[in-house]
Amino acid sequence: MSEHARKLKAPDPARAHGAWVYLVISIVAGVLSAARYDMFAALLAGAAFLGVFVLAGAAAGYPKHWHARLAIGSAILAASLIAAVSATPDPSFLAYGAVAVFPAAAAAWFGFRHGFQSGGALSFAVVTLVVAAPASLCAGGAPHTLGLLLLGLLAPFFAWRTWHTREALRDSHGWSRAKLRALGWREALIALLWTTFAVSLVHVLADRA
């Protein structure tokens, strides 16, 4: 495969550890932020986003391993939708699916112009994942002002960390597996610390509302 073809090849999200970290943290942030509302409904919305993510991995991984991912993603999505019948989450959280289209489109634009491994493409792709946080929160019955606050706290920060990490990897040499693992753990810890602050702030403002 030529260098140009590799540059334009979309990465498999299901094989990206960073994507999993940001998605799981975003879902957990939305569920924990909904503690005073309906955490179960928030969890179901987060599970729906997880199912869609696995399905996206199935599409990106075709023709390898796509059958298993298709089955797993479909099962997660179907289970969350079936359970939602009894939990009755606030259906307005589906609006965040439309919100996710914009960073996804931006990620695709940067990908085709600069490569899907470029800082811009990866950063906007992460923002697409972060939308799971406000969607989960609002599915639990929280007002959309809190959802937008959570999105505003997490999305720019995670995008910045993704850009910073990508630039560090591009500009430096001699990355061993141990160094890459240490970098991944450091970024995950930073994301957890910032998410803890964001969730705490959402709770403080929710109490005052």
15 contacts 119 by C-beta, under 8 angstroms: no
CA–CA distance, 1 with 102 (Å, rounded to integer): 30
pLDDT digits (tens, 9 = 90+) for 153-196: 999 999 999 988 888 777 666 667 787 788 888 999 999 999 99
Instruction: Tell me how many domains the chain contains.
Output: 1
Q: Please calculate the CA angle 106-67-49 and round it to the nearest 5 degrees.
A: 40
Confidence of residue 209 (pLDDT cuts 50, 70, 90): low
Please name the residue ranges forming H helices in the chain. Answer: 3-8, 17-33, 39-61, 66-87, 95-114, 119-130, 132-139, 144-171, 177-208
Query: What pLDDT shows up at residue 114?
Result: 81
For residues 137 and 42, is the Cβ–Cβ distance under 8 A? yes
Q: Which residue would you say has higher pLDDT here, 136 or 81? A: 136
Identity (one letter) of the amino acid at 50?
Answer: L
Global confidence as pTM: 0.88
Cα 165 to Cα 123: distance, rounded to the nearest angstrom:
10
pLDDT tens for 71-126 read: 998 999 899 888 877 777 777 777 888 888 899 899 889 888 888 788 888 899 99
Q: Give the domain range for residue 175.
A: 3-9+18-208
Pick the closest to residue 123 from 155, 87, 90, 82 (CA basis): 155
Closest CA to 83 of 43, 56, 52, 26: 43
Interval 20-57: pLDDT, tens: 999 999 999 999 999 999 999 999 999 999 998 888 88
Q: How confident is the model at residue 2 (pLDDT cuts 50, 70, 90)?
A: very low
The reported pLDDT for the residue numbered 197 is 96
